Amino acid sequence: MPQNLLTIFDKDRSNLIKAIQHVQKEEGFISNDQIINLADYFEIPLVDVEGVITFYTQFKRTKPGKFIVHVCDGTACHIKGSERIANWISEILGIADGETDAKGLFSLETVACLGCCSLAPVIAVNGKVYGNLDRKQLRKILHTYQQEAKK
C-alpha cells in the first residue's frame, strides 16, 4: 500500500472508499495484500473492505494489462457493430470481456460510452480513440501495440 496513505486519510471509516480509490489509482488494482493493509489501517474486518470492493464495479481485483482496450457499447456503437468488434478483439487476443491476457499485455473492457458517436464503432486503447473500425483496421491497431510491447 502506498506509504502516503497514512498522511492523506485519517483512520475514520468514512474514508475507506477514498482510500481504496487512491490505492487503485496508484497500483492499478486492489491486491489481497492491499485489502489486508486497508483493513489493518482502518481497524476493520477484512470482509468489510472486501465487501466495499466487490460492491462497486469501479474496483479491480486483478492487475490490468499494459494496454487497456475499451470497447464502446453506446447506442451508436452498438447499432454499428460494437458486439462484432468485441468478438474480433476476443478472437485476436484470446481473452473475453473483463479479462487480461496471460502475458499481461492486454485487458478488454466493454464501456457504456466513449463519447465519440460520430466515429462509431469505437475502441480506446489506454485512452487513445480509434473509430470507424473494420476487422482489418482492428488487427492493425492491436498488432501495433503488440509490437510496441516488444520494444
Are 33 and 104 in a shared domain?
no
Looking at the domain assignment, is residue 36 inside a domain? yes
Q: Burial level of 128, CB count in 10 A (0-12/13-18/19+)?
A: exposed
Domain holding 77, by residue range, is 67-150
**Please, which residues bridge with residue 72 across strands?**
111
pLDDT tens digits, one per residue of 63-109:
999 999 999 999 999 999 999 999 999 999 999 999 999 999 999 99
Are 81 and 114 in a shared domain?
yes
Number of domain units in the chain: 2
CA gap 84, 145 in Å, rounded: 20
Are 20 and 75 in a shared domain?
no
Decide: 2 and 28 in contact? Cβ < 8 Å: no
* CATH value at residue 78: 3.40.30.10
Q: What CA–CA distances, in Å, run from 97 to 1, 6, 107?
A: 28, 35, 8
Decide: 146 and 89 in contact? Cβ < 8 Å: no
Are 28 and 80 in a shared domain?
no
Are 37 and 75 in a shared domain?
no
Using DSSP bridges, classify how beta strands 123-125 and 67-72 pair: parallel, antiparallel or unpaired: antiparallel
Q: What is the pTM of this model?
A: 0.79
pLDDT tens digits, one per residue of 12-45:
899 999 999 999 988 889 999 999 999 999 999 9
Looking at the domain assignment, is residue 87 inside a domain? yes
